[in-house]
Amino acid sequence: MATFVSVVICIQIVLVIVSVYIWLAWKFGRVNLEIKREKKG
């Protein structure tokens, strides 16, 4: 039972890390696009 709980906790931690990474990549990607637009303008 303890192993099952630890596996669930590990999966939740991985999901949180992945979601944060995707959010950061999306945010920085938008920032980079805005910077490129400003340079062109």
Domain ranges for the chain = 1-41
Instruction: Please state the pTM of the whole predicted model.
Output: 0.61
Q: pLDDT at position 41, please?
A: 61
Tens of pLDDT, residue by residue over 1-41, are: 789 999 999 999 999 999 999 999 998 888 888 878 888 76
Q: Give the burial string for 6-32 (b: 16+ CB within 10 Å, else e).
A: eeeeeeeeeeeeeeeeeeeeeeeeeee
